Chains A and B, each alone.
Chain A
């Protein structure tokens, strides 16, 4: 039977009579175990390495696991909500939460706005310039976070840093041996600059790719009708870019909320209290101080916080993935 059909096809036989069968047949046959078989390996891995730790972490957060239990292998005692009450009544923890939230908001806004701006500008420049831009940005994107953080640590070094050297050259400014991390505002501007700088390429390149999909005719028609560039941007470009914007913004929030490497490295692996984010805080609690359960509770609260705030956008992002 398949042979016959294949020959008719090859000889260019007419196909209409096949149309109804075509729609149903592939679907029918596929209800076998094949789809499960193909997605099973990935699923198992995900369950084992992301899912199980997740469950264990939630479990751990209701226990009291200390170094003693870890070494002896004895089961850790259940303590109910103790860890949570301890964390939630801790003023240090809330300070860390607000700091992380504030940083995320500022960093994401800067990254997305500047990234969008650059993507828009890239559409307007000559091909050669655009290529140069993309290459420059790919360098940055390709740089491991750790490497970028190391570079920034040196650039802002109080004795030998380039930044102090350049600022000191300005007339009447003495920035020799200025330390950027004594004042947390200055320190966080350095960290934010680093994160935004490193985050822009991904967004700009993605949005630039998306902008190529904006139909030229629409923009031209709007311009002919007398729309200002701002109106064109708001009513034509942004709506078309919206799915992409939601994806990159959501991803940026997830990434920035989990800030770890940058402040960790810039503070030499020992972030002072005013440079702790939720990620470093839970890590220090769990591994630095061997309070594994407390660290787990902090992680659980962090994820709940983020999911709570982001629920809407994450839903949007899921929907975008399901094109039909």
Chain B
């Protein structure tokens, strides 16, 4: 229980305790008892949270017979990556994986470029129609994805974008913009005005101010909203189902669609471990992204949402 001493609240207790010695110790003990319970509760909760994930990863190394053996938490007999190789090549997960990476990279880049430009002017410039545009963007937040699927289908069909990545990327960008603009506009407003003004005085162009001054200052906000968009777009299932359809779309399916296909076609006969391997593969990139940007995500969330 040595770690209890590093509790944020604990290190501030001694100073006042010197003054009012009568009351402090009891408060401290209470806090510590509670903290101990909190630790236990949290560890338990973390296990519950990560449990299903662990189970998926374990199952991905097992053979079909092992999965159906009825010992869900037993370790697999051998750790071979054969299921992953199978999933990657035979179930075309490899191709779907790169399809997804390609689409998400382009659409996140597009979202961030368009979204940050719009958010920047909405937050920092006073012009006619500013509020109107802002509300237009943010009202997009209130609409659930599924609702305009039918008409979306027709539009893409009429424009010849059905079954193309261009169509899907445009759709992803449009669906991500409301939250991006909402979040970034709030973030840009919190940034200091002085530096920007100094740059204006020094004769910097608007473009230069935006890319060389505002963007670097807004870094943590940009990073966290980028991550948010990557995760959101990587996780999409419904939109690709609607957009990547029609003849010749087999080659273009995204990872989530590929996974759905494996599980639908699998039934009780095929390689279930392939499915679990594919599931694991689909989580991996997100974990890598998180691991890299964990600190910025925290910083960005704090600065953007709480003033």
The residues of A with any CB-CB pair to B shorter than 8 Å are: 2-3, 5-6, 9, 18, 22, 25-27, 29-31, 34-36, 38-39, 41-43, 45-46, 48-50, 52-54, 56-57, 60, 118, 121-129, 132-148, 150-152, 154-155, 159-162, 165, 197, 200-201, 205-206, 209-210, 212-213, 216, 219-220, 223-224, 240, 243-244, 247, 251, 254-255, 257-258, 260-261, 265, 269, 279, 282-283, 286-287, 292, 295-296, 299, 302-303, 306-307, 310, 314, 317-318, 320-324
Contact, CB under 8 Å: B177 / A42: yes
Least Cβ–Cβ distance between B275 and chain A, in angstroms: 7
Contact, CB under 8 Å: B46 / A136: yes
Given the complex of chains A and B, what is the CA–CA distance between A296 and B147 in angstroms? 8
Given the complex of chains A and B, what is the CA–CA distance between A151 and B125 in angstroms? 48
**Chain A residues in 8 Å Cβ range of B290:** 135, 138, 142
**Chain B residues in 8 Å Cβ range of A133:** 42, 45-46
Contact, CB under 8 Å: B150 / A46: no
Contact, CB under 8 Å: A140 / B49: yes
Q: Tell yes or no: B109 within 8 A of A by CB.
A: no
**Which residues 173-202 of B sit at the A interface, judged by CB distance below 8 A?**
173-175, 177-178, 181-182, 185-186, 189-190, 196-198, 200-202
Least Cβ–Cβ distance between B288 and chain A, in angstroms: 10
Contact, CB under 8 Å: A31 / B170: no
Given the complex of chains A and B, what is the CA–CA distance between A126 and B150 in angstroms? 50
**Chain A residues in 8 Å Cβ range of B173:** 45, 49
**Chain B residues in 8 Å Cβ range of A216:** 8-9, 12
Q: Chain A contact residues: over half helix, strand or loop, or mixed?
A: helix
Q: Chain B contact residues: over half helix, strand or loop, or mixed?
A: helix
Tell me the count of chain B residues lying within 8 A, CB to CB, of chain A. Answer: 115
CB nearest neighbor in B for A39: B118
Contact pick for B7, options A57, A126, A137, CB 8 Å: A126
Contact, CB under 8 Å: B149 / A56: no
- Pull 26 A–B residue pairs with CB atoms less than 8 Å apart, ordered by A: A3-B203, A22-B201, A31-B128, A34-B206, A45-B173, A46-B136, A49-B170, A49-B171, A57-B150, A57-B151, A60-B151, A140-B53, A142-B286, A142-B287, A151-B53, A160-B67, A160-B70, A197-B49, A209-B302, A216-B9, A243-B305, A254-B142, A303-B142, A307-B142, A317-B141, A323-B307
CB nearest neighbor in B for A210: B306
Given the complex of chains A and B, what is the CA–CA distance between A76 and B126 in angstroms? 45
Least Cβ–Cβ distance between B47 and chain A, in angstroms: 8
**Chain A residues in 8 Å Cβ range of B27:** 223
**Chain A residues in 8 Å Cβ range of B237:** 144-146, 261
Q: Tell yes or no: B102 within 8 A of A by CB.
A: no
Ranked 10 nearest A-B pairs via Cβ: A258-B144, A142-B286, A49-B174, A53-B151, A2-B203, A56-B151, A53-B148, A144-B235, A126-B3, A35-B121
**Chain A residues in 8 Å Cβ range of B34:** 124
Given the complex of chains A and B, what is the CA–CA distance between A123 and B43 in angstroms? 14
Contact pick for A54, options B48, B128, B148, B297, CB 8 Å: B148
Given the complex of chains A and B, what is the CA–CA distance between A162 and B58 in angstroms? 13
Least Cβ–Cβ distance between A226 and chain B, in angstroms: 8
